[in-house]
Chain A
């Protein structure tokens, strides 16, 4: 052990090392610092006693409080459910139109619907329900399967082309890909569909396609192309195009016959949640 060396100016011991004539002081830790240091150690020991701390092979030390964050979450969820129970029951009992008329229930349904929408619907329909190519916009006044509260509730419950036995079901044929129509006929139909929504189109092609439309499309889309909600066939005369309004988009749709899938939410979400979702979607602005 080296000899103690005391610095004359400060009266503090040095570390004994010297660099270029400079010696480092071995200033002791401040007492407040040491105090806190020891206090934290004592605190930690107390923590081991009170709270779960040491892992074992199959279990762990539980501590005298036997605290568990899992239990805490369960208890919190249970108390939240209890707090919501009254309105939840009211929501279950109320009809969809009753909910619309009761401001308190409406607010509750909107809040629950918004959360459920964020958890389940946003990936396809977008955060604001604005939709995307191939996914319907839920804000507007165009509804493939109906825009009444009950229609929306039913669509959410059974889905579209889903695994549910009651699913809303329809299929647009792939007229080109499956060689139902010749490529030239598909081209003519594209002009006809453009003409339906009031856009300038090649008149001769439209005339050629008139019979083609009546034979192949009118069954679902109607003789005037106004669509049919019973089979989810879109109105072709309006400004809304789920798969795009450009000639190429229309051609692609007639050729390939795209049809989106919406899962069935019955059984996955509670009937109250579905009700709330229906109210929320309806109130996005497009509800009928």
Chain B
């Protein structure tokens, strides 16, 4: 008795041979435009674990980015007594942001804006050069999804085993696998949320508080909230986040062009595709044996052979899968490769491929990037360690005194961004005043020394009185704050209102 293995009887996931030694995968590109309806529930994807150059690079990137994320809050940086010694800290309670040697006050939030602009332009530049590298390797969504799929693969097995398990009836073994998978996911999720709050607090202190149940509610809420989103995004929603929630795939369509390096199926070489029998000639046909391995490994559920599509995160796993197959059938590798759409067209027209990294688009992005970086660097390195804000009283606008003299009042904020307390000199000039008085500290003539604590703002009120005969010429004055020890000085011009009808 012999058995004929028909397509239907073959084990799940194994189709007919695509070529000698290469099975055809029955993987469906569930998210390719042809298969996707406008309203449809998620069809689960069980990406096969790829092996190769890009997969190794993706593992390495995962290790690096996760290490940075988890370890950064534990780095210490000595800033002297009284200042936190955490290298990277967003100190909301004291309104300070620390990044190694940089300390930013809320008034300098434009540095954060600058950083965001830098990140955006860097993203544009990388996208114009190499496509969506960010999406493929370093976006948190990619990294955590990859991590969660790795956990899933370790517990439930590779693609076919996972598909079988999903279809199988509930048994103790299935329950055990599912429970352990979700538990480990949750563990990673909680660790993710747990690491996040360390950026906002002293990490060792907070860890102790979290474990002993003495941390503030907001921390537990943050951990719980981020654990939930991590679990949901990385474990349950995965590619849907990229396709439906993230704006970048849409934006990048406008930021890229046909000269950008993207994961590309070289249809000039692959078509016409079809199964290949051993011994057949490769003449008159393409290298693609339609084995579907590129679809099987795709975490986004697409078919790269459909061409560039917004779901593609450019991770290169299909390159690894295809290279493996090409090796087995003795064809040149890189049928799928980081290449440009323009080169595919050039080859189709019999031209030699060219790589044009220098294009108006990339020059513009690089120029903007360099410009913004230079401005940021310049302002960061030359920024003052002291600052002065002057707010003139508006209510009352001015005060008329008994003899006709007029007084204006000013509230001054003296800011000391230094790590040490300093004695700063406050000076008033540019006006012929009868009296310049500092409430609590007497007269300023011509200047007064004021102590400002380390990393603090001191508020003082200054009253400037101008005699009646000098009012006509009095319209403004200058407040200056100086640290004579290091020769730093900040001057602020202010208005003087000489009264009605003057």
Contacts and interface: CB of A to CB of B under 8 A. Distances in A.
Interface of A: 100, 103, 106, 126-130, 137, 139-142, 235, 238-240, 283, 285-286
Contacts of A235: 402
Contacts of B440: 100, 103, 106, 283
Contact of A283 (B394, B399, B401, B439): B439
B403 interface: yes
A140 B393 contact: no
A141 B404 CA distance: 11
Contact of A286 (B394, B395, B399, B404): B399
Nearest to B394: A128
Nearest to B459: A107
A48 to B, nearest CB: 24
Contacts of B403: 238-239
B463 A285 contact: yes
B395 A128 contact: yes
B395 A127 contact: yes
A285 B409 contact: yes
Contacts of A106: 440
Contacts of A137: 396, 399
Interface string B438-462: 0110000000000000000000010
8 contacts: A126-B396, A127-B395, A129-B396, A130-B395, A139-B407, A139-B409, A142-B402, A285-B463
B241 to A, nearest CB: 16
- 5 smallest CB-CB distances across A and B, nearest first, come from A128-B395, A130-B396, A238-B402, A139-B399, A239-B404
A285 B402 contact: no
A106 B400 CA distance: 26
A240 B399 contact: no
B262 to A, nearest CB: 35
A239 B399 CA distance: 12
A140 B401 contact: yes
B41 to A, nearest CB: 10
Interface of B: 393-396, 399-404, 407, 409, 439-440, 461, 463
Contacts of B396: 126, 128-130, 137, 139
Given A106-B440, A285-B463, A240 B402 contact: yes
A140 B393 CA distance: 14
Nearest to B39: A10
B480 to A, nearest CB: 22
Contacts of B407: 139-140, 285
Contacts of A103: 440
Contacts of B402: 140-142, 235, 238-240
Contacts of A130: 395-396, 399
B399 A140 contact: yes
Nearest to B461: A283
B195 to A, nearest CB: 29
B396, B404, B440, B463: most-surrounded residue (chain A CB, <10 A): B396
B232 to A, nearest CB: 12
A235 B403 CA distance: 11
A128 B401 contact: no
A127 B461 CA distance: 17
Contacts of B463: 285
Nearest to A287: B439
Contacts of A128: 393-396
Contacts of A142: 401-402
A192 B118 CA distance: 74
Contacts of B461: 283
Contacts of A286: 399
A241 to B, nearest CB: 10
A127 B395 CA distance: 7
B501 to A, nearest CB: 13
A27 B195 CA distance: 43
Contact of A239 (B394, B400, B439): B400
Nearest to A27: B39
A221 to B, nearest CB: 15
A137 B399 CA distance: 9
A211 B373 CA distance: 82
A152 to B, nearest CB: 15
A127 B399 CA distance: 14
B400 A240 contact: yes
Contacts of A141: 401-402
Contacts of B395: 126-128, 130
A108 to B, nearest CB: 13
B49 to A, nearest CB: 31
Given A103-B440, A126-B395, A286-B399, 10 more contacts: A100-B440, A128-B393, A137-B396, A137-B399, A139-B399, A140-B399, A141-B401, A142-B402, A235-B402, A238-B403
A130 B407 CA distance: 12
A144 B461 CA distance: 25
A139 B399 CA distance: 6
A104 B461 CA distance: 15
Nearest to A106: B440
A120 to B, nearest CB: 17
Contacts of A100: 440
B394, B409, B440, B463: most-surrounded residue (chain A CB, <10 A): B440
A249 B395 CA distance: 25
A100, A142, A239, A285: most-surrounded residue (chain B CB, <10 A): A285
A142 B400 CA distance: 10
A239 B471 CA distance: 15
A45 to B, nearest CB: 23
Given A100-B440, A106-B440, A285 B400 contact: no
Contacts of B439: 283, 285
A184 B394 CA distance: 43
A205 to B, nearest CB: 24
A84 B203 CA distance: 32
Nearest to A102: B440
A100, A127, A129, A130: most-surrounded residue (chain B CB, <10 A): A130
A53 B461 CA distance: 51
Contacts of B404: 239
A141 B393 CA distance: 17
Contacts of A239: 400-404
Nearest to A131: B396
A209 B440 CA distance: 46
Nearest to B396: A130
